[in-house]
Amino acid sequence: LKRAVGAAGVFALCALAAGCGGDDPPPPPQPGEVVLGTAATDGSGFLTLADDVTMVAGAQGGFHVWMKYRLKGMSGLEVHVQQTARRQRDNVLVSIGQRQVDVGAPGADGFWETPLATPIFLCPTPIGIVVADEPLNFQVEITTADGEALGTGQARAVPHCPADQSTFCNNICRG
Amino acid sequence: MRDAAACGCLTPPDPTVPIVQAGEKILFGIQNGIVTAHIQIQYSGKQATDFGWLLPLPSVPTLELGTDELFAQLYATTQPKYRQLLAYVGNCGFAQNRGGNFGAPSSSGAGGGDSSGENNTVVIQDSIGPYDYAVLHADSKDDMLKWLSDNHYFVPAGTDDVVGPYIHQGAYFLALKLHSGETTGDLQPVVVHYASDLPMIPLVLTSVGAQPNMGIQVWMLGQGRAIPRNYLHTVIDDTLIDWPNAGANYNDVITKAVGEAEGKKSFVTEYAGTSQVMKNVLNAPGRFGSIADLAAQTTPSAFFQYLFAHGYAVLTQSRGGPIGGGGFQLTSQAKAVLAHYVPEPSALATKGISADQFYQSYDYYTGTYRQQNPGDFTGWTMNFLPDMMAQDLKTKVVDPTLAAGAMFDQSPYLTRLYTTISPEDMTKDPVFSYNPGLPDVSNVHQATLTYYCGWFGNSQQATTPAQLKTEQGFLVDFPHGTGTAGTYVPSPDLPGSLRTEILREEGAPEVVSDNSHRISNVLSGDSDSGCSTAVGRTERTAGVAFVMLAAVVFLGLVRRRKGSR
């Protein structure tokens, strides 16, 4: 009984300390704000990246999801952008891309928006990895050239093959 | 027979003419979502009008001229090299000359219609260097194929089927052909820039004109090691390598190894490491001198000497030694420019005098030699225009070479991947990506062949028991010696691959199959191929070595005892 009481005491102390037990500390606040979005099939506009999105035929027979993002608090900076997509159910990395971006002057709402949509390359997929009709977590991390975090944006969406290329698309988007 | 090497699809003028694409050599670099692809095209069709080339692209590309020197240097610098060291245990009489192995001289190991297209299909129609090119909308297969047909880009049978996946709204095709009057020897590499995150090779389209076991050589520049994203990755079984002959059977081993992968779709990493191996190779400081100085040369001889003195001539290495017998040679692009203004008389070429010899000794050939052989210059004319020649050289040689060299300064890491694949297996387009966490891969490999000559000595190398320890640590026995045939005949039971694995964009390789035990079992098994250089039993030599070692110890003890008495 003494052991049980002792263990409970240690657990309580750990819980109070909010650091014992392996929980990661909350990330430090980042100075910038990032909002992820997507675009129409022709790459125009700024649409919410959520729920169901239709993949776009792209690189030499591949398929991708358009990504756009709006940044706040980073104007005038040359930033490093890393965009990733991971499958929600097992966190498997299905796409990664990096860019250097010159953030321009903000609009009236304080946000600067990427002028062109960039492709999140999804298909052909890595071997054995199904992407079509799978919930994916999209993330964009913005850092300075020195690696200092400026902001992170996330979104969840389910990419689908376009109806007019369903057979070919599903062939290369299902591992 | 036609040979070509490039990605995309060759389109001969007659669908019944068999086309053969012998290989592809491509260097990819990616910066800020823009793929830069240097593509080497090799084609040996007899007539320039026979040449046509198609490349599907995701966006309107920009096109520049490349340089074949890039591929020559890149190929030589990162080429897999297999070296066999020799070791001797005991009194080996033949060890003094240290030359032979497997009865053969030792190797250094140096791996050694021209309609205007007045329709909406054509986006760009222009020319660059020796090429005419067009960028075509690929949103309608019929329109695109009609344009190709109208412009004599005949499409071989089967293309209609395989071109389908590349046809969609917003897609493009780059079509390339030679100017009329150009020779097929003028096939200068091209550089294509287009927007994409990851590069892909349109192998499905290539399958129409490819030859069996076509080699695909890919270099990727980036921040870390490159991987085949949707193809398997193979590590070859190095017991199959012809070590005594510097890996002369390398291509066969690759074909066997990747052929064991599912669908025969796999790449081998031949080199992964710093791109600094190419530092200053193409863009050494001061190379090419000054275009203004070149243009200021007043005589052909002075002009040509300037070229030879300022890096327009290179020593190009390939497997087996310098191309063309060695010596500094002008690049093919430089020679093509010079030939346009000051051609080498055809009679000289017929006599075996190379263009390099002609330009390097221009005063001699146009002076003393011409006086002695006036007939060789009958009908010969030249048009020495140093200003135009210098500008042409700048456009076709200097700028492309320096731009190619700069790529290696911009990206710290270089990966070389290779595979062979047959047309029937070209059912998936390989895409390449990166996994910076993967380790480097050296292109230099080493094994050691040890001869066991015994205490009493052995002067017959061919019959002396020997053992080869490969880089992967396998022991290959030659209990009856390495023979005199000079050839290495591994057991046919050995697999081609050590491992087949999946490389992902993060994390360690996922092993699909591991043949380590199988290789060990074959090497230590009872099977005997019967060849004089057959792979034998590992234990046999180990046993022989143990007996010899015991004999040495025993004799030493006997002598010590005798001495103490």
C-alpha A71, offset from chain centre: 14
Among A42, A55, A56, A60, the residue to mutate for chain B (most B Cβ within 10 A): A60
What is the model's pLDDT at position A54? Answer: 94
Q: Cβ of B198 and A121 within 8 Å? A: yes
Q: What is the mean pLDDT of residues B160-187?
A: 73
Reduced to 3 states, what is the DSSP secondary structure of residue B111? coil
Chain B contact for A121 (CB, 8 A cutoff): yes
Strand partners, A79: A101
Which pLDDT band, with edges at 50, 70 and 90, does B15 fall under?
A: very low
Q: Which of A42, A92, A121 sits opposite B197 (nearest CB)?
A: A121
Chain A contact for B262 (CB, 8 A cutoff): no
Chain A contact for B28 (CB, 8 A cutoff): no
Contacts of B165 in chain A (CB under 8 A): 61, 168
CA gap B310, B397 in Å, rounded: 12
What is the model's pLDDT at position A72? Answer: 94
Chain A contact for B229 (CB, 8 A cutoff): yes
Which pLDDT band, with edges at 50, 70 and 90, does B43 fall under?
A: low
What is the model's pLDDT at position B49? Answer: 60
CA gap B563, B461 in Å, rounded: 34
Which pLDDT band, with edges at 50, 70 and 90, does B53 fall under?
A: confident
Report which of residues B540 and A85 the model is more confident about: A85
Contacts of A128 in chain B (CB under 8 A): 502
Chain B contact for A54 (CB, 8 A cutoff): no
Q: Cβ of A62 and B58 within 8 Å? A: yes
What are B390-404's pLDDT values in tens digits? 999 999 899 999 999
Q: Cβ of B58 and A59 within 8 Å? A: yes
Which pLDDT band, with edges at 50, 70 and 90, does B118 fall under?
A: very low
CA gap A39, A49 in Å, rounded: 8
Residue B79 in this model has a pLDDT that exceeds 50: yes
C-alpha distances (whole Å) from B367 to each of B311, B363, B364, B372 are 26, 6, 5, 9
Q: What is the mean pLDDT of residues B211-229?
A: 93
Residue B382 in this model has a pLDDT that exceeds 90: yes
For residue B202, the chain A residue with the least C-alpha distance is: A60
Contacts of B428 in chain A (CB under 8 A): 124, 172
Å between A128 CA and nearest CA of chain B: 9
Chain A contact for B232 (CB, 8 A cutoff): yes
Cβ atoms within 10 Å, residue B225:
22
Residue B291 in this model has a pLDDT that exceeds 60: yes
Residue owning tokens 């993967």:
B438
For residue B430, the chain A residue with the least C-alpha distance is: A124
Per residue of chain A (175 residues), give pLDDT as tens.
Answer: 445 445 444 444 444 444 444 456 666 667 889 999 999 988 899 999 999 999 998 756 789 999 999 999 999 999 999 999 999 999 999 999 988 999 999 999 999 999 989 889 999 999 999 999 999 999 999 999 888 999 999 999 999 999 988 998 999 998 7
Chain B contact for A57 (CB, 8 A cutoff): yes
What is the model's pLDDT at position B178? Answer: 73
Among B34, B198, B201, the residue to mutate for chain A (most A Cβ within 10 A): B198
What is the model's pLDDT at position B37? Answer: 93
What is the model's pLDDT at position A24? Answer: 64
Report which of residues B294 and B202 the model is more confident about: B294
Q: Cβ of B196 and A121 within 8 Å? A: yes
Residue B99 in this model has a pLDDT that exceeds 70: no
Cβ atoms within 10 Å, residue A152:
17
Chain A contact for B411 (CB, 8 A cutoff): no
pLDDT, chain B, mean = 81
Which B residues 112-171 touch A at CB under 8 Å?
Answer: 164-166, 168-171
Contacts of B262 in chain A (CB under 8 A): none
Residue B374 in this model has a pLDDT that exceeds 90: yes
Å between A60 CA and nearest CA of chain B: 5
Chain B contact for A76 (CB, 8 A cutoff): no
Residue A136 burial by Cβ neighbours in a 10 Å radius (0-12, 13-18, 19+): buried
Q: Cβ of A118 and B58 within 8 Å? A: no
User: Nearest CA to B389 among B274, B491, B312, B475?
Assistant: B312
The pTM assigned to this predicted structure is 0.82
C-alpha distances (whole Å) from B62 to each of B65, B195, B205, B289 are 10, 10, 21, 28
For residue A120, the chain B residue with the least C-alpha distance is: B197
Q: Cβ of B170 and A57 within 8 Å? A: yes
Chain A contact for B518 (CB, 8 A cutoff): no
Q: Kindly give, in sequence order, each residue whose CB lies less than 8 Å from that of residue B345, ignoring residues fewer than 6 positions away.
A: B358, B376, B377, B380
CA gap A59, A62 in Å, rounded: 5
Q: Cβ of A57 and B171 within 8 Å? A: yes
Chain B contact for A62 (CB, 8 A cutoff): yes
Å between B165 CA and nearest CA of chain A: 6
What is the model's pLDDT at position B554? Answer: 44
Lowest mean pLDDT across A27-31, B53-57, B468-472: A27-31
Cβ atoms within 10 Å, residue B35:
24
Do the beta carbons of residue A57 and residue A162 sit within 8 Å?
yes
Contacts of A165 in chain B (CB under 8 A): 168
Query: How many CB pairs below 8 Å do chains A and B form together?
Result: 85
Residue B96 in this model has a pLDDT that exceeds 70: no
Q: Cβ of B202 and A118 within 8 Å? A: no
Do the beta carbons of residue A94 and residue A131 sit within 8 Å?
yes
Which pLDDT band, with edges at 50, 70 and 90, does B555 fall under?
A: very low
CA gap B38, B59 in Å, rounded: 17
Residue B31 burial by Cβ neighbours in a 10 Å radius (0-12, 13-18, 19+): middle
